[in-house]
Every structure is written in structure tokens, then in C-alpha cells.
Amino acid sequence: DVKVTQSSRYLVKRTGEKVFLECVQDMDHENMFWYRQDPGLGLRLIYFSYDVKMKEKGDIPEGYSVSREKKERFSLILESASTNQTSMYLCASSFPTSGMSWETQYFGPGTRLLVL
């Protein structure tokens, strides 16, 4: 059974703090993703990684960075948290898509971050 875990379910931080959100998957997936979910906006991709030490910007990377030192772990970093980064953050992982089929993304439970 695929398991994607996120280090915190709820987090409260102050403006200007550096914030680390951790994600771990146990399925040996090459791909890992960070999304944020906001009302009326759906899920938006922040960053994704297709291999260790590899990363690509998603649709809304500004204000975020990521780190992938090990295959199973993908960290999202808010260098200097701001109130507009208050959101639900979701991590996902998957195998790479082949030409013949599409590989499901499996999601963690999410981290609800409040920046004061």
C-alpha cells in the first residue's frame, strides 16, 4: 500500500520565518510533487522533482524552494514566510509515465500552514 507522509498536519508560523515542510514516500517513486490548495483555485503545482537532486519549477514557484537529497524525501522550503503563503500544502509522488499509460499520483494528507 502506497504511503506518502507529511511531517506536520498543522503549522503556525510568523511572517519572515523560514519554514520547512517535509514529505516522505515509501514506494520508491522517482517523481515527487508539491502543490498548494486554495479555495476557488484548486491544486496548483509549486515544484516537482523527477530524480534525486533534480527539480523543476511548477506554475507558482515564487517564494519557495525545494530540496531532494534522497529519493524518498522531498522538502518544500519557504525562505521567508508571508501571509499569502497561508494555505494547504499537499505532497504527491508517482512513477514516471511511460508512453503506454499514465501513472497515478499518490497524495499525502496535507499540511495546513497558517502564517501570521
Partner 1 sequence: DQQVKQNSPSLSVQEGRISILNCDYTNSMFDYFLWYKKYPAEGPTFLISISSIKDKNEDGRFTVFLNKSAKHLSLHIVPSQPGDSAVYFCAASVYNTDKLIFGTGTRLQVFP
* Residue 3 contacts partner 1 per CB under 8 A: no
Q: Give 13's strand partners.
A: 115
All three cell numbers of 59: 506554475
Query: Interaction with partner 1 in 72-91: which residues (CB under 8 A)?
Result: 90
Query: By CB under 8 A, is residue 40 in contact with partner 1?
Result: yes
* Residue matched to cell numbers 511531517: 7
What do you get for the CA distance between the two ends of the chain, in Å? 37
Which region, judged by CB under 8 A, interacts with partner 1, from 11-19, 63-71, 73-81, 92-100? 92-100
11 binds partner 1 (CB under 8 A): no
